[in-house]
């Protein structure tokens, strides 16, 4: 049975317009039902988004230690994971009732469930890295990272209006853009450099795309043509 690993950035759960929210959750459910019906296993790794940033900022009033701040961020990712988990259980998908705390545990849960939803695991990286580790541990060679930007750019498109979108690149090209890391608690990057390093060591291909477009996400999962960035080994 094919296993697909999908990282959903936390911002995807909270589209600005309420109407889009209903639509996005509806399309995500449809996609999960369809893929489950086609005998696929699905591993969703959910980011912390706004609640993570808010919680980390709040904790920073008293705490400076990165390990502790990361622990706060992880709690937010697990909150968001619970939202997706319950959303998929609600339409009758065979979803693990446990939100695993490690990617090993998640990989084992695939023995008894078609869908496993999780958030962060341990301090020092983001859910991008968790998704790559879950791909490695569940025997998938490919991991889709769905965010709210369309591609990886050669520089930060929020700061540089001339930034160019990249359609295909190697892991080491990506590492040049992201830097070596690690990121600070709550800090964001095109892709977490730790995720890129783990992808290099286990040969996992990564697709980066805008997860607001579920049809495009589904194309990437299915290995069809998609709009976004494909990151491969040399």
Nearer to ligand UTP, 145 or 200 (CB): 145
With binding defined as CB under 6 A, does residue 157 bind ligand UTP? no
Q: What is the 3-state secondary structure (H, E, C) of the chain?
A: CCEEEEEECHHHHCCCCHHHHHHHHHHHHHHHHHHHHCCCEEEEEECCHHHHHHHHHHHCCCCCCHHHHHHHHHHHHHHHHHHHHHHHHCCCCCECCCCCCCHHHHHHHCCCCCEEEECCCCCCCCHHHHHHHHHHHCCCCEEEEEECCCCEECCCCCCCCCCCEECEEEHHHHHHHHCCCCCCCCCCCCCCHHHHHHHHHHCCEEEEEECCCHHHHHHHHCCCCCCCEEEECC
Residue 11 interacts with ligand UTP (CB under 6 A)?
yes
Asked if 125 is part of the footprint of ligand UTP (rule: CB under 6 A), the reply reads yes
Q: Which is nearer to ligand UTP, 7 or 115 (CB)?
A: 7
228 binds ligand UTP (CB under 6 A): no
CB of 128 to ligand UTP, least distance (A): 6
Answer for which of 6, 32, 42, 74 binds ligand UTP (CB under 6 A) is 74
Catalog residues that contact ligand UTP under the rule CB under 6 A: 9-11, 47-49, 52, 70, 73-74, 77, 120-123, 125-128, 130, 147, 185-186, 188
């Amino acid at each position: 049975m094919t296993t697909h690993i999908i990282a959903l950035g936390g911002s995807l759960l909270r589209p600005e317009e309420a109407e889009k929210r209903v639509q996005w959750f509806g399309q995500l459910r449809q996609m999960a039902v369809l893929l489950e019906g086609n005998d696929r296993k699905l591993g969703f790794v959910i980011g912390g988004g706004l609640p993570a940033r808010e919680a980390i900022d709040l904790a920073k009033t008293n705490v400076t230690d990165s390990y502790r701040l990361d622990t706060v961020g992880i709690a937010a990712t697990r909150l968001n994971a619970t939202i997706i988990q319950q959303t998929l259980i609600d339409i009758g998908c065979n979803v693990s009732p446990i939100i695993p705390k490690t990617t090993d545990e998640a990989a084992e849960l695939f023995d008894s469930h078609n869908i496993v939803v999780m958030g962060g695991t341990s301090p020092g990286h983001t859910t991008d890295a968790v998704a790559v580790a879950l791909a490695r541990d569940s025997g998938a060679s490919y991991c889709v990272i769905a965010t709210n930007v369309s591609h990886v750019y050669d520089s930060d498109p929020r700061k540089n209006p001339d930034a160019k979108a990249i359609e295909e690149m190697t892991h080491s090209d990506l590492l040049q853009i992201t830097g070596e890391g690690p990121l600070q608690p709550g800090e964001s990057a095109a892709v977490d450099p730790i995720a890129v390093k783990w992808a290099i060591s286990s040969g996992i291909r990564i697709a980066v795309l805008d997860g607001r477009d579920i049809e495009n996400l589904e194309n990437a999962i299915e290995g069809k043509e998609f709009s976004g960035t494909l990151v491969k080994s040399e």
